[in-house]
Structure 1
Amino acid sequence: MRERRQQTGFIPPRGLTSPHVQTLLPRLLPRPRIARVGEILELPDGDFVELNWIRPAPAKPEAPIFVLFHGLEGSFQSPYARWLLATASGMGWRTLLMHFRGCGKRPNRLPRAYHSGDTADAYWLISELSRRYPKALKVAAGVSLGGNMLLKLVAEQGGGGLDLAGAIVISAPLDLATSAERLHRGFSRIYERHLLNALKRKVAPRLARGELPLALDNHGLARIDSLRGYDDAVTAPLHGFCDAADYYRRASAGRLLGEVELPTLIVHADDDPFMPAGLFERLPEPADAVRVEITHHGGHVGFMEWRNRRLQPWLTRRLAHELACWADTGASWQSAMERHLSRTDN
């Protein structure tokens, strides 16, 4: 693979190389305490998403912006979200997280919710950021489901279709069908059960109130025992797909790897228990704009290392390095933009 390389910067502590230990450890450790302020962003179809802006925010409107998209049933409370947001904010970036529909404090208004290939809300948010902060350099990151969504978005929009300087994709299930199969096997069924229960808890009250146009009742919902079954019965019909297979085929971003024009970093662990080993051997060759970094260990959004005499997420260190590179690029870009505007004004 042209742009594939093993990333040697992540070294798991001795005895903590298991993908399941790496995946579960972040839930057991303290998370950074960060202040935030919420915002309701209205969407064109009458629904909304909830934004969390990290405080304190930079005073200058041209400060760089970091926006994070979480994973399936994730939120501001997810361990990785707190760590990544705290890292970007601490570096002086204007930092925010977009909750997918219904993943914040309030249920969304419409029957539709969100899914792995639903790029419209993220596109609307980035357009709004461009309107509010036209001179700011912007970088987006997506984790797990949010990473698949983000890669699909940048592939769809091409190099100039988004006001983004770059994208970062972390532990993303770029082949949704094989990920659903992997989650239904062995110990990974623990993760599938956790995600499935979260999805059911959210949709059950809406089914009971008759808010969803589905040929399903709560008894049928209770009998679903796999994510694929849930996607067949709920995700696909709610969002215009024929069935789970159609949804997986059309929403998977991996098939678009060769079409990405925006500078994009993909971070992936080869032992991720949410995906088959050798995932990128199944996918098309990535475009020149894509850099794929694959670690031997790390689990799913784990990447826990021993640093400063305690366990910490290596992802924060990797993000800080990437954002520092973008900040250097942004300083040059900002100077060029100011010179251009000065000439235009004169």
Structure 2
Amino acid sequence: MKYKAPYLYFSPHIETILPSLFRKVEGVEYKRERLTTPDNDFLDLDWLHDDNKKLVIVCHGLEGSSDRPYVKGMAKALHNSNFDILAWNYRGCSGEINNNLRFYHSGATDDLELVINHSISLGYHEIFLIGFSLGGNLVLKYCGEKEENIQEQVRKVVAFSVPLDLEAGSNRIAEPSNFIYERRFLNNLIEKVKQKAAIMPDKLSTAHIKKIKTLYDFDNFYTAPIHGFKNASDYYSKCSSINYVTNIKIPTLIINAKNDPFLPAKCYPAELLSKNEMITFEFPERGGHVGFTEFNQDRMYWSEKRALKFILK
């Protein structure tokens, strides 16, 4: 399946921004479940149930949620094709600050495993993982970590717009052309730090906020120390899915558009990925970041059609 961007989408920024701001996905009515974590925190899981035995778990991107249009679009498309859907929200991403000091991050596969095992306990025989951006890194890292020990119910994985090399991606988003994206992410992340610091001032300080100019700074001052990493570079090194993909043992589809404004050259490691016969790596010329807009009668985006085709084959 070859992707062709709409005629009026003449720049990668338009391809990235317009779907995020203006796409409306109707008819997705989740049922929410709150899952308690082993450390007495919570994850909010949003379900589309039809008593199917096949389940798709959708993982959102940085500062996303189950309500983002790209999540709802994928959920609706696959639910209409007889899959149950679980769109889960990372810690602090469901509209309510989580209980503990820790947040979520690009390599927090312990929470993903909890969600998968919970789904298996409900009787699902076949599970498919779909991740966008940070969520793509998360699902790829998880499958690479598990190798042949991955749960037998987990059959395939699909990842879109993946920052396979987190440090390179962090440097790319700090470029002047990406200022608007980085500023938006930082505003949201900093606000969460302020909210959490107000709740637990003995554990979290806002003193570093004034020093934060980039996502690298945020990860250096907050993400890394909160989650047990030495610094941002250590966090990026240990959590980048590029270090795990060669170990994946289930069929995997990775799609990164060549014009993705968030992704540098290191996020298109075709030679490395070709060493793993389980991986299909596609890099269409267009698509932007988590874009892949397509106008048609069924209102399905190209990414949704591509994911469905891969899962069903």
Q: Supply the distance in 2 between the matched residues of 1:78 and 1:138 (Cα, whole angstroms).
A: 22
CA contact (8 A) 1:270 1:278 kept: no
SS at match of 1:192: helix
Deviation of residue 160 (structure 1)? 3.6
Q: Are residues 278 and 229 of structure 1, via their aligned partners in 2, closer, same or farther at CA, if it must alter by over 3 Å? A: closer
Residue matched to 1:341:
none
Residue matched to 1:142:
131
CA contact (8 A) 1:177 1:245 kept: yes
Q: Supply the distance in 1 between the matched residues of 2:279 and 2:270 (Cα, whole angstroms).
A: 16
Structure 1 segment 156-305 matched on structure 2, within 5 A: 156-162=145-151, 163-211=153-201, 213-214=203-204, 216-218=205-207, 220-277=208-265, 279-281=267-269, 284-286=272-274, 287-305=276-294
List per-residue Cα deviations over 1:155-201 (Å, max 9, x = no partner). 01113422300111111111000111110112211111111111111
Matched, 1:33 2:27: yes
Structure 1 segment 31-180 matched on structure 2, within 5 A: 31-54=25-48, 57-60=49-52, 63-134=53-124, 136-162=125-151, 163-180=153-170
Task: Report the residue type matching 1:94 in the other structure.
Answer: D
Q: Supply the distance in 2 between the matched residues of 1:148 and 1:275 (Cα, whole angstroms).
A: 12
Q: Are residues 312 and 87 of structure 1, via their aligned partners in 2, closer, same or farther at CA, if it must alter by over 3 Å? A: closer
Deviation of residue 29 (structure 1)? 2.5
Deviation of residue 33 (structure 1)? 2.9
SS at match of 2:64: coil
Deviation of residue 282 (structure 1)? 8.1
Q: Which runs of 5+ in 1 are unaligned?
A: 1-7, 326-346
Q: Supply the distance in 1 between the matched residues of 2:214 and 2:266 (Cα, whole angstroms).
A: 23
Q: Supply the distance in 2 between the matched residues of 1:22 and 1:68 (Cα, whole angstroms).
A: 21
Q: Supply the distance in 1 between the matched residues of 2:103 and 2:139 (Cα, whole angstroms).
A: 17
TM-score (norm 2): 0.93
Tell me how large the CA RMSD over aligned residues is. 1.9
Deviation of residue 48 (structure 1)? 1.3
Q: Are residues 285 and 93 of structure 1, via their aligned partners in 2, closer, same or farther at CA, if it must alter by over 3 Å? A: closer
CA contact (8 A) 2:165 2:266 kept: no
Task: Report the residue type matching 2:145 in the other structure.
Answer: E
Q: Supply the distance in 2 between the matched residues of 1:285 and 1:31 (Cα, whole angstroms).
A: 34
Q: Supply the distance in 2 between the matched residues of 1:238 and 1:78 (Cα, whole angstroms).
A: 26
- Structure 1 stretches of 4+ moved >4 Å: none
Matched, 1:9 2:2: yes
2:309 to 290, 298, 321: 321
Q: Supply the distance in 2 between the matched residues of 1:212 and 1:64 (Cα, whole angstroms).
A: 45
Q: Supply the distance in 1 between the matched residues of 2:93 and 2:269 (Cα, whole angstroms).
A: 33
Decide which structure has the larger Cα Rg and report it.
1
Task: Report the residue type matching 1:121 in the other structure.
Answer: D
Task: Report the residue type matching 1:251 in the other structure.
Answer: C
Q: Are residues 211 and 143 of structure 1, via their aligned partners in 2, closer, same or farther at CA, if it must alter by over 3 Å? A: farther
Task: Report the residue type matching 2:133 in the other structure.
Answer: S
Q: Which runs of 5+ in 2 are unaligned?
A: none
SS at match of 1:65: strand
Task: Report the residue type matching 2:159 in the other structure.
Answer: V
List per-residue Cα deviations over 1:18-58 (Å, max 9, x = no partner). 1101001112132233111100111112111000002xx22
SS at match of 1:165: strand
Task: Report the residue type matching 2:213 in the other structure.
Answer: D
Deviation of residue 279 (structure 1)? 2.6
SS at match of 2:101: coil
TM-score (norm 1): 0.85
| Aligned residues with identical type, % of pairs | 31
CA contact (8 A) 1:175 1:253 kept: yes
